[in-house]
Structure 1
């Protein structure tokens, strides 16, 4: 498709009220909401070094945590002519991995640190549309809004912060003219997996003194984690866990007992639960020896057995397995 015919197609689809696909909706936003021209060949605007430095400094902890994951992703896709980029929630590229052989091409396209790839600035593209629609996307060559961007394929996934808000986008862009949609799908799967890994590592780093609990393992790939303090109160949750458990969608969450959120229903309430936990810990520390556990708790052996019976802690379950 020629550049002129691509621009004409995008313009027609953008102005059509019958356009229903997600791609056509993005084209329509680009033209009607943002007032962009698909034939405009201007490169993305680049922040000044001071502006870029300020943005990087604001996200320094996140960038440090994400760096090893970017390195690992680049080792998988870098040799095939791909550029790995990490942006902030506004679509500004903050970090990247690219080979020296491919750097000139990506720099010419504007896929470089400090460049603004929001949908409002560049129309439909992997980074901007991923952030605008808050979902994983692949924008392959002619699916880009601007004709100047149709030489690339972009696979993107959003990254959610520990506060449940959109934090960043992870992008792999390819300069290969023979890039196939099948290969795009393979890269897209790796991008999604890396984005979830970054999200998980950063969530753990954001609650260094908490116990991290897997809230659910439904196979969907989302990071469903809870941060639990020393009193077994949930003090943090990933976006996926917030949605699944009906917690606050964004910001700080109201502390709740972890057992309540995880659905561990039993007949014990209030202090009985605390007592059961204390007895179970004493038994575990004593290796299942009831007498030793009773001495540690400052009670008699007979009293210990009565409490164990009332709390549902049988002697057999308290003893360690002998294989």
Structure 2
């Protein structure tokens, strides 16, 4: 059976329940794609690509050394390392000159749109559509023209908890095995987490970056300011600690999140930090914060004024 016919049949089958079949279904029914379409992926103009790269300049600069390290590990295996934005457009890549022509012909090149909406099931697009690590091996691709490649991808989450990018390693080898794909996939996932952590640190230059004592996940990180308030958290930390999934982050005492002793002889340092924590726990209510500290409201105001703390406006 032709690949295009197989994809069409599985996509429309009511009994298809696998993640792959779900992606094929989205590609066919939601995005209206034809698996036999042999056109190359559309590419942005140089001007459009430049604008997108400028918008991600800080991230791309931080990620570049990690891309270099990953490429050094896979470059002898006919692999192409790609970094996309959240829309699936390739922003940066690493590829050997000997393999460049093949990948350029496939459209795995800077400026190309590899979203699932544009190319159907593929490593980059499906990774972004589902927000998870994926491997799309040869015939698992939606388009017949893409079935000669294997793609291993992992998502990268931004400091705001939102999906920021996809990291992809694509192979041009005809003898690429699923076992070897698993090895590459593990390295891709590790590098994606490293990029995420490095960019998170760079996004909070004046903060301490800490992690809960009971986690081995390098992506679980908090940014803590001089008043010992957590002012940022990675996507993984937000999930583990039950915080806002994405978007604005409400500062709260790091001691509360990390489960550490909340006293002035340990984690906390100074009267100002104690007042800031009390106000944060009371959501800015001075009277409630004063009661929690066991002092009068007037005393609380005097100490706030002396320490340069301003009452939160309603």
- TM-score bracket, normalised by the shorter chain, equals 0.7 to 0.9
Provide Cα deviations, 1:216-269, integer angstroms capped at 9, x if missing partner. Answer: 5533x4500000000001100000111111111112211101001111246x5x
Aligned match for 1:225, one of 218, 221, 224: 221
SS of 1:277's equivalent in the other structure is coil
Aligned to 1:171: 168
Provide Cα deviations, 1:110-140, integer angstroms capped at 9, x if missing partner. Answer: 0000000000000000000000000000000
Conservation of the 8 A alpha-carbon contact between 2:228 and 2:268: no
Aligned match for 2:256, one of 243, 248, 260: 260
Structure 1 runs (4+) greater than 2 angstroms displaced: 215-219, 272-279
What CA RMSD, in Å, does the superposition of the two structures yield over aligned residues? 1.6
1:153 aligns with 2:145: no
TM-score by length of 1: 0.81
Aligned to 2:73: 76
Conservation of the 8 A alpha-carbon contact between 1:216 and 1:224: no
Aligned to 2:269: 277
Superposition map of 1:131-146 within 5 A: 131-146=128-143
Aligned to 1:206: 203
Offset of residue 277 of structure 1: 3.4
Could you tell me which runs of 5 or more consecutive residues in structure 2 were left unpaired when the two chains were aligned.
272-314
In structure 2, distance between residues paired with 1:172 and 1:243: 27
Conservation of the 8 A alpha-carbon contact between 1:13 and 1:19: yes
1:54 aligns with 2:38: no
Conservation of the 8 A alpha-carbon contact between 1:217 and 1:224: no
SS of 2:255's equivalent in the other structure is helix
TM-score by length of 2: 0.84
Aligned to 2:127: 130
Conservation of the 8 A alpha-carbon contact between 1:123 and 1:145: yes
Larger radius of gyration, structure 1 or 2? Answer: 1
Conservation of the 8 A alpha-carbon contact between 1:222 and 1:240: no
SS of 1:158's equivalent in the other structure is strand
Aligned to 2:244: 248
SS of 2:174's equivalent in the other structure is coil
